[in-house]
Structure 1
Amino acid sequence: MAEQRSMSIRVPLLARVEGEGALEMDIQDGALAGLRLRIFEPPRFFEKFLEGRAFHEVPDMVARICGICPVAYQMSAVHALESIFGVDPGPWVRVMRRLMYCGEWIESHSLHIHLLAAPDFLGYANAIEMARDHPLEVRRGMALQALGNDLIRLLGARSVHPVGVRVGGFHKAPAMDEVERLRERLRAALPEAQALIVWAASLSMTDHEQPFTCVAMRHDSAHYNEYPMNEGRIVSDRGLDIGIAQFDQVFTERQVPHSTALHCELAGEPYLVGPLARINLNRDRLPSVVTDVLRATSIDFPSHNPHHSIVARAAEVCYALWEALRILDAYVVPDAPFVEVEPRAGIGFGCTEAPRGLLWHRYETGDDGSIRSARIVPPTSQNQARIEQDLRLSLENYGLHHSEDELRMVGERVIRNYDPCISCATHFLKLKVRRS
């Protein structure tokens, strides 16, 4: 019988995630008796900050929630407010919002794949160390991220905390010469994105299928037959199919003692949101420019191997480049980039697909459009319970008899695989293992 040791492991800070937190494990008699993904950053109170503010202030304020995915917060917010005010900004605004979202998917996924996740798969401590042996891959990631940022800047005036979005549309329409320059860069980058899928699929991955529920948006095919970004119904691979206004009737947020972020559950169980869930539920909506490359790899979707998330992200980078190019090829300068808005009292909902998954907003407004209450459910808080579930399954599959360093390495890899935006969820990694 292997000797059972008492063990305490502390990692002061987890590298390559956004935010701060800790992981604690209790091992008793060789079994995992307790596991807690602690998020201990103080609450950021954005929902309370919004109360009493004018509706036109909301897009710029919610963009400050995250420097990596500000577009997602802006899109969910403006959709919710426009639903209250009875506003339809029209097809030009709709497609431009989709274009801006493409930029965010490209920059966020490219950053995660090349600089945050790939070192785990290739056995490096960080991206700088990895770049010595894989300079072309790191340069590709940085170039794709820059291209995504420039797409956001095209409509948002800047790529971090953009200020071009307003309720009813955009403050300014891009000029044709700006569009043409970006269009050529997108066209040149598309083969690079296809190569990225092949490269991601070639990485060495643990073959560990897990049972979990996938949740994502999906368009009603009678209206749009697109891969989901800004609109759609909320569906799962277990038969869920609801409108976004029904979210809080089906999903439940609860406070856990070890986290300053709420855990969100579906029927009392963890679930997955994000690129792997999206591609599992919407792979039939991907164009051949993506599916032909995926078929040539050894990865099959739908997949319940969490490590295949990196391939799903690569596929979404390729899709977002293709979709952005399709949109810009048909670009016209509009007569006006927005429609006027007449505020009124009401309750509205917005739900879009942030790079990390479903992002749900609910607002109540007064007669003048001022915010009476706000509720925001970010994707990382929805994935928290799934991460803890994955940690338990992965560590037990790996073997709890391994050393502290080996267990820490596996735990960090599992958490980073979800690309958690812990600051959004309110932030990671101290690791404690107690054996008795």
Structure 2
Amino acid sequence: MDEQRDIRIQVPVLARVEGEGALELLARDGQIEKLQLRIFEPPRLFEKFLEGHSYSEVPDMVARICGICPVAYQMSAVQAIEQVFGTPNSDWIQSMRRAMYCGEWIQSHALHIHLLAAPDFLGFNNAIEMAQVHPEAVQRGLQLQGLGNKLISLFGGRSVHPVGACVGGFHQAPSILAVNRLRDELQAALPEAEELVRWTAGLDLPDDQQEFVSVALRHEQEYPLYGGRLVSDAGLDIAIDEYEQHFREYQESHSTSLYSLLHDKPYLVGPLARLNLNRDRLSKNLQALIDEIGLQLPSRNLFHSIIARAIETCYAIEEAVRLLDNYQIPPQSAEFIEPKAGTGYGCTEAPRGILWHRYDLDEEGLVLKSRIVPPTSQNQARIEEDLHQSLSSYGLQHTDAELRLRAESVIRNYDPCISCATHFLKIRVKRE
């Protein structure tokens, strides 16, 4: 006998799954025959909007793509445009861009850990319910998020869609007093960040082992954030301008979100992929903390993503303190710009994974063509693959409500930024 159930779940405005979508399952004889994560968000056309605009407008325009990770879009953009122009970067500019980026990691990871993901593992529907029992956890999340926002504002003028970064550097340098005050706040937050790592490691996470390919930037010396080569645990090791020779984007008829494959196979980007490939680039203190909590790397359990985000939060605070130590105002906060025609590439590590940009500019620095590949589209195929494996392992005999909860928790592991605000996930389960 056929059994078909439609379930619509309204997720609170906190948007624990970002973007509007539906998951459709077709199961026969206890096996999943069809699984589609359908995304309904309309195309936003930012790549087309950029055409004809000056290079100087690009950083502020791409920052509007995402309210959670605008710094990532700015940093990948200025990197690509400066490559076209051959613009040098002083050590001060490189370091302060990295410090600003740390702020984005702190605020984004703190938001996801405490308000979006943790309720799944503590048995709550949302962070408001969780706050009734674990007020200290929610308060810690809000404090860390606020600290990250302060760091973005220090260089960007504001934390949402900051305007301080420009091609060549920054419009102005923050004062020594402002930097020192924030550095002291960051230093004071380090013990709390270390406890966050222990707290996430103590959560009752499912043991869901899977095989997947991790992809991330890898730098000669630093944990990947602002630059490096693209590597994988399957042997990839390329410069960022070789990206299009190995990665392919394509459209699925059931989704407005693009999919991406590496050598025609799904792959993972984001905090767990970075940690799997770059543990040795962390500080000795953090590597000792990883040993203390017993996290075995590389991990094949996507539910360890919440621990990876906590580790990266601690790293970002450590790194920001290091970068802001002995801060001095430079002779100039931006390099001289001389527009040239050409093609440039940029790739940085957004909180959710690698964010790749390419710009074709004319001799006046006007955008002829652009291409932007965000982390969520790169994870889309892996999310569907993960859902298939995880739900099969979990067991299709569970109720539709239980399958929905497991499916949403799997999706939330990736912290997808589908449209930056999901309000519900519909599941249609057909059993035959």
Question: What is the TM-score of this pair, normalised by structure 1?
Answer: 0.96
Change (3 A) 1:137 1:13: same
| 2:17 aligned partner | 17
Q: SS at 1:7's partner residue?
A: strand
Pick from 7, 24, 29: which aligns with 2:4? 7
Given that 2:251 and 2:258 are in contact with CA atoms closer than 8 Å, whether structure 1 keeps it comes out as: yes
Pick from 330, 350, 360: which aligns with 2:346? 350
- CA–CA distance in 2 between the matches of 1:115 and 1:400? 28
| 2:162 aligned partner | 162
CA deviations on 1:216-250 (whole Å, 9 max, x unpaired) are 0001x2xxx10010100000001100000000110
Pick from 384, 387, 390: which aligns with 2:386? 390
Which one-letter code corresponds to 2:332 in the other structure? A
| 2:258 aligned partner | 262
Q: SS at 2:36's partner residue?
A: strand
2:418 paired with 1:422: yes
- CA–CA distance in 2 between the matches of 1:143 and 1:21? 31
Given that 1:13 and 1:20 are in contact with CA atoms closer than 8 Å, whether structure 2 keeps it comes out as: no
Task: Give the superposition deviation at 1:9.
Answer: 2.7
Given that 1:41 and 1:427 are in contact with CA atoms closer than 8 Å, whether structure 2 keeps it comes out as: no
Change (3 A) 1:74 1:413: same
Equivalent residue runs for 1:46-195 within 5 Å: 46-195=46-195
CA deviations on 1:259-280 (whole Å, 9 max, x unpaired) are 1111000111110000000000
2:332 paired with 1:341: no
Task: Give the superposition deviation at 1:122.
Answer: 0.5
- CA–CA distance in 1 between the matches of 2:10 and 2:252? 21
| 2:228 aligned partner | 232
Given that 1:7 and 1:404 are in contact with CA atoms closer than 8 Å, whether structure 2 keeps it comes out as: no
CA deviations on 1:379-422 (whole Å, 9 max, x unpaired) are 00000000001100110001011111011110011001110011
Q: SS at 1:8's partner residue?
A: strand
Unmatched tracts of structure 1, length 5 or more? none
Which one-letter code corresponds to 1:313 in the other structure? R
Change (3 A) 1:254 1:412: same
Q: SS at 1:9's partner residue?
A: strand
Pick from 359, 380, 384: which aligns with 1:363? 359
Change (3 A) 1:17 1:425: closer
Task: Give the superposition deviation at 1:425.
Answer: 12
Q: SS at 2:336's partner residue?
A: coil
Given that 1:20 and 1:422 are in contact with CA atoms closer than 8 Å, whether structure 2 keeps it comes out as: yes
| 1:410 aligned partner | 406
Given that 2:155 and 2:174 are in contact with CA atoms closer than 8 Å, whether structure 1 keeps it comes out as: yes
Q: CA RMSD in A?
A: 1.4
- CA–CA distance in 2 between the matches of 1:11 and 1:47? 33
Task: Give the superposition deviation at 1:12.
Answer: 4.8
- CA–CA distance in 2 between the matches of 1:363 and 1:428? 35
Which one-letter code corresponds to 1:45 in the other structure? L
| 2:33 aligned partner | 33
Which one-letter code corresponds to 1:113 in the other structure? I
Question: What is the TM-score of this pair, normalised by structure 2?
Answer: 0.97
- CA–CA distance in 1 between the matches of 2:322 and 2:64? 30
Given that 1:44 and 1:426 are in contact with CA atoms closer than 8 Å, whether structure 2 keeps it comes out as: no
Unmatched tracts of structure 2, length 5 or more? none
Task: Give the superposition deviation at 1:424.
Answer: 6.2
Given that 1:39 and 1:426 are in contact with CA atoms closer than 8 Å, whether structure 2 keeps it comes out as: no
